[in-house]
Structure 1
């Protein structure tokens, strides 16, 4: 609504912007979803002329991220362009989770390839009892950086109060689960510090 876009045309233009390899991948993705019970009816109803509200239901999360980037450029929206990189980080940890990878396999400092985004750093420093060195050490770990980016982007982008309330409850359950057997790692300062950091963020943001 903000950009007065045609919900059908923007999808056509996006698909038209894909190169041959991307289009072939997209078509194979749609054909695969056509065989599934969750997307079949939507695909058959619109059959190649998808409105944006239907399109986002039948594409993968990776394709959704690409579509978001396309919209950011189409609208020349600086905030969307900036947020795209946060969403891209969310995609990485989402993929790791979807493939049952061990998320907390390496908690060492200085494994992150990039510096933490400025707005996330500022939000972290507003958290009570968040020591600067403590924050820098934790956020220099790529896995923790991705988790915190995911939490931040959720807090920033999710508009549904119901969803936010539900996820808040789930995160609090997770923190309680972490604390349940804290004696297992009471001598491991790296694990203790990481869990303390995550607890501070969840308590403050959610």
Structure 2
């Protein structure tokens, strides 16, 4: 079924929001129009409304409860900060995972760095051509093109991990973990699978908090992550880790303290998370939305455990 929605002017967008029960008491309509023209667009901003409940019946049936335009703006700003922090942490995790992998390779006298890549390529079967094509598409890149041209398909491990995507890097990481029967690397791989999805969302500027209270998890929480949260009541962990985005954020934070070896980088992350915590409740305590507030409080407790 095709859904067709009429294009709306900014004035019409504000009217549509008002019809849905969104108020403009804190953020007046004129200011809201200016915001939609200069700061954020309707589709993205209004996605945060999913965290608010609607009247189940009565004259206001289907309209939002206690939702002011200002709260959507606030969540959009918080979400922007969160995406930046997520992306930076994910990049740090990727870097230190590469460091760990290469150290393991360097300390193995049976590995020359080339044969493991060749065996990995063979293990891909028909997908080998797909990966080789993706690599060759970067041959003219200002950043990795010289590496690709220099090695001309005969890549050692330390160059392969620089020229492939994060997804392909994780496939190679899993191959190495299995090849060496290394449970530690294998656990890192499963942590980074969650990191990858969250990282990609942040890198593509997708909203994180737009449905954070409702989206059910598709996967189980990593066992090591669960163990690390034992100071929080099990029922509370079960409740919030059952939400896909919460589980991924928690996994990202756990992976950062488990995989990053630099104390300086961890101090940087600690400062970023401290700023985020202060920013979330800076303007509103979200007591008017207990479900959202409880979700934020849970994340605060997780941050306090790790950092």
Instruction: Give the TM-score of the pair, scaled to structure 2.
Output: 0.60
Runs (4+) of structure 1 exceeding 4 A deviation are none
Contact 1:110 / 1:137 at 8 angstroms: preserved in 2? no
Would the alpha carbon gap of residues 119 and 33 (structure 1) be closer, same or farther in structure 2, given more than 3 Å must change? same
Tell me the equivalent position of 2:245.
143
User: How far off its partner does 1:72 sit?
Assistant: 1.1
RCO greater where, 1 or 2, for CA within 8 Å and sep 6 or more? Answer: 2
Whose helix fraction is larger, Structure 1's or Structure 2's? 1
User: How far off its partner does 1:36 sit?
Assistant: 1.6
Would the alpha carbon gap of residues 60 and 113 (structure 1) be closer, same or farther in structure 2, given more than 3 Å must change? same
Q: Larger Rg: 1 or 2?
A: 2
User: How far off its partner does 1:50 sit?
Assistant: 1.7
Q: RMSD of aligned C-alpha atoms? A: 2.0
Would the alpha carbon gap of residues 102 and 40 (structure 1) be closer, same or farther in structure 2, given more than 3 Å must change? same
Unaligned runs of 5+ in 2: 1-105
1:46 maps to 2:46 = no
Instruction: Give the TM-score of the pair, scaled to structure 1.
Output: 0.87
Match of 1:191 among 281, 292, 302: 292
1:12 maps to 2:126 = no
SS of 2:138's equivalent in the other structure is: helix
Q: Tell me how far apart the structure 1 counterparts of residues 121 and 263 of structure 2 sit (CA, whole Å).
A: 32
Contact 2:215 / 2:245 at 8 angstroms: preserved in 1? no
Contact 1:90 / 1:150 at 8 angstroms: preserved in 2? yes
User: How far off its partner does 1:143 sit?
Assistant: 0.9
Would the alpha carbon gap of residues 195 and 23 (structure 1) be closer, same or farther in structure 2, given more than 3 Å must change? same
Tell me the equivalent position of 1:176.
278
